[in-house]
Every structure is written in C-alpha cells, then in structure tokens.
Structure 1
Amino acid sequence: MARKFIDCREVPSEMNCTVAISADTEAEVLEAAVQHAVALHGHDDTPELREFLKGAIKDGTPPMEAPSRAA
C-alpha cells in the first residue's frame, strides 16, 4: 500500500505553513488536513474545502526540500 500525503508548503498562505500530513489512506490524510485547515488557517469545513484538499493529496511521502508554492 502506498502512502498518501498533502503538503501545506505547496499552497500559498500568509503564514508560510510548513506542515505536511501523511497516512496510509486518502481518508486519513483528508480528515487530518481538514482539521489542520480549520484549526490553524481559519477555514470553514465545507464541501469546497474538502474537494480542494482531496485534489491536493498525492501518492508517496512529502519531499524533504520545500516544493514550489502554487502561484
């Protein structure tokens, strides 16, 4: 089973968040990412947020070096 991850360093933010979340399943990553987005970034838990985060989940593990941020 391949790991899944989402990396805040890939998303522009005012706080330049460096958190990366990984787990064995997309569902685990998504739930943790939603909690992180709500608690630390002030987002509301909406279907749109969940779709955005789901689209940002990748296979593998986060890279050690910071990836390029989205424009």
Structure 2
Amino acid sequence: MATSDDTTPARNWHKATYTTERGACVEVSEGPVTGIRDSKNRDLGALFFPADEWAAFVRAARGERL
C-alpha cells in the first residue's frame, strides 16, 4: 500500500539507475519503507511502499519470475 505521507521515515535518497540528463529523474530511498520521488519536484512529496512491495515491483519491472 503506497502512501504520500512525508512523515514516513526515509533517508539516503539516490537517483534511480535509469535516470537520464534529459528528464525522467526519479530518486529512491530504500530501506524497511522505500520512498520514491521526482527529483525535479521534491516539494510534491513522495510515495512510500513497504520494502517487500517495492522488491516485487522491481522484479516485475525487470521481467523476473517469482
């Protein structure tokens, strides 16, 4: 379940691996709760997911089977 609550603990933001200089900039903070935010619009907040949900999303995005 995703939330946009900025009070959820997240730290050590880093740009996602596929971030490009021309746009599509996403920052991720991984941990027990994983945060996702737009690096160009940080003031819009972030979405937070439990680590297991984030890991499942990454596996699916990569086309990996469970």
Larger Rg: 2
Name the structure, 1 or 2, with higher relative contact order (CA <8 Å, separation 6+): 1
Larger strand fraction of residues: 2
Larger helix fraction of residues: 1
